[in-house]
Structure 1
Amino acid sequence: MIRAFIGIKIPEEITEKIDSFSKEKLKNIKNIKRVEKENLHITLKFLGEIREEEVERIKEELKKISFRKFEIKIKGLGVFPSISNPKVIWIGGESEKIQMLKREIDLHIKNSQINIKKEDDRPFIIHITMGRIKKEGEKESEKIKRLVKENPDFGHFYAEEFILFQSILTPNGPIYKVLEKFLLL
C-alpha cells in the first residue's frame, strides 16, 4: 500500500517568498511545524492508502485528461478548522480553472473504479499548507488572527502540469515522491 495524492507543485520563485515569509512570521507561534519549501503544493485530490496495482489504473485514467494551462494567484492566509481552534495555517490561491481541473480529476478517479476509502465532502478550498499546529492552537489564536489580516500576496504562476505523488511519512516529516507528471496543454 502507498499513500498518494494528486497536486500541483509550486514554482521555486514563489516557494522562496513563502519560505521567507513563514520563517519570519511563524517563529513566534508556539507548537507549529512549518512545511518545508520543497513540500509546498496545492492538493487537488487526496487518495489515501492505495494498492500498488491501483497506481497504474489511476495513471491511465489521469492521462485521459485534456486541460489547458492556467494561472493561479497565490495570496492571502487562512486557517483550518477555525480561527478559534487553528490546526493548519494556509496560503490561499485564486483560480477559476483549478476548480474545473479538480472536477475532471474527481470524475476520472471515479471512472478508475479505485475505492477511495475517505471521500472528502468538504468544499474545495485552494490552499498551500504553510504550517501545522501540534497542540494548544487556541492559545495562539490572537497571534494567528493578526497574521491572517496581513493578507500577503506571493504573486502568480501558470500551472503547466499536475502530479501524482506518493507521500512517505517519516519522523522528520513527509517526503513527496513524484509517481507521474501530467502535462497541461
Structure 2
Amino acid sequence: MNKRLILVLFTMLMGCAGKSHQSFSTNIASETHKPCNKTEKAKVNLIGFSIGMNKCEVPGYAEYGEFDDYSGKVRLHGIKVKPMFDFDTNDKVEAVYIQIGPRRFEDLKEAYRKKYPELKCQSSKVQNRFGAQFENETCTVTGKDEILIISKYAENINNGVVLLKSLKSYEESKNRRKKYYDEI
C-alpha cells in the first residue's frame, strides 16, 4: 500500500483529516493529541485566529507545522507578521501575539475600529531609559471569552503589539501583575 495513502488513512483516524504530513507528525508526537473538532466562532478574532480554536484548525498550521515558518507568510492589514501562539493543555489557542512597529499603530487602530466599533482607546505616557516621554495609546475590544489589545508601544518604544487573549488568562495575568506591584 502507498505510504501516502497509509498516512492519509491514519490521519483521518486521528481526527485531523485533510491536514498535511507535518501537522500529522507533530500531532502524533504529542501525547495529549485530541481529535480536531471545529470550535464555535468567537466574536473577536485576529486574522482568522480565535481563542479556543483547536491547534489543528489554526489556519496555516498544516502548511507550517509548529509555526516556525510563519514569518512573512501571514499579513495583518498588509503588514507581514509572525504570529506567536500560546496553547492550553488541551491544545486550544489561549493567546495570539503579534509584534508591530509603532508607526503602523494608527492604521491598525482605524482598521479595527471599522471592524469593531466598540473599540475603546486610552492614552498614557511611557518613558525610555533616558527619561524621554512618549504618548502611548492602547485600544481594547472584549468579546464573550476573549480580549483584543492593540498597543502602540509594548516593552519598549521600538515595538507595539496586537494581542488576542482569553479573558480568563488576561485576568490571571492582570491579577499577578497587581499582586507583584502591591508587594513592592
TM-score, reference length from structure 1: 0.25
Higher-strand-fraction structure = 1
Structure label with greater radius of gyration: 2
RCO higher in structure (CA 8 A, sep ≥6): 1
